[in-house]
A and B are shown apart, each in its own frame.
Chain A
Amino acid sequence: MPFASWLSKAATILICKSQDHPPARSNPLAPPPARSNPPPGPHPHAAWIEDQLLAFIVSRILQAIPVVLVVGLIAYAMFAFVGDPVTIMLGTDYTEAQRVALVKQLGLDQPFFVQYAKFMWAALHGEFGISYRLARPVTDLLAERMPATLELAATASVFALLVGVPMGVYTGIHRTAASRLFMVFSLVGVSLPTFLIGILLILVFSVWLQVLPSFGRGDVVRFSHWSTGFLTVGGLKALVLPAVTLGLFQMTLIMRLVRSEMLEALRSDYVKFARARGLGPRAINFGHALRNTLVPVVTIAGLQIGGIVAFSIVTETVFQWPGMGLLFVQSVQVADVPVMAAYLVMISVLFVGINLVVDLLYYAVDPRLRVAR
Chain B
Amino acid sequence: MPLHRRHLIDVADFSRDEFDTVLDTAVSMREVLDRPIRRVPTLRGKSIVNMFFEPSTRTRVSFELAGKSLSADVVNVAASGSSVEKGESLVDTFHTIQALGADMVIIRHACAGVPDLAARHLDCGVVNAGDGLRGHPSQALLDLFTVREHAGDLEGLKMVIVGDMLHSRVARSDIWAFARMGAHVYLSGPPTVLPPDFGDLLNGDGMVRVEYDLDRAIEGADVVMALRIQKERMAGGLLPDLREYARRWGITPDRLGRADRQVLLMHPGPMNQGIEISSDVAYGEQSVITEQVTNGVAVRMAILYLLLTGAH
Q: Do A and B assemble together?
A: no
Which A residues form the contact surface with B (CB < 8 A)?
none
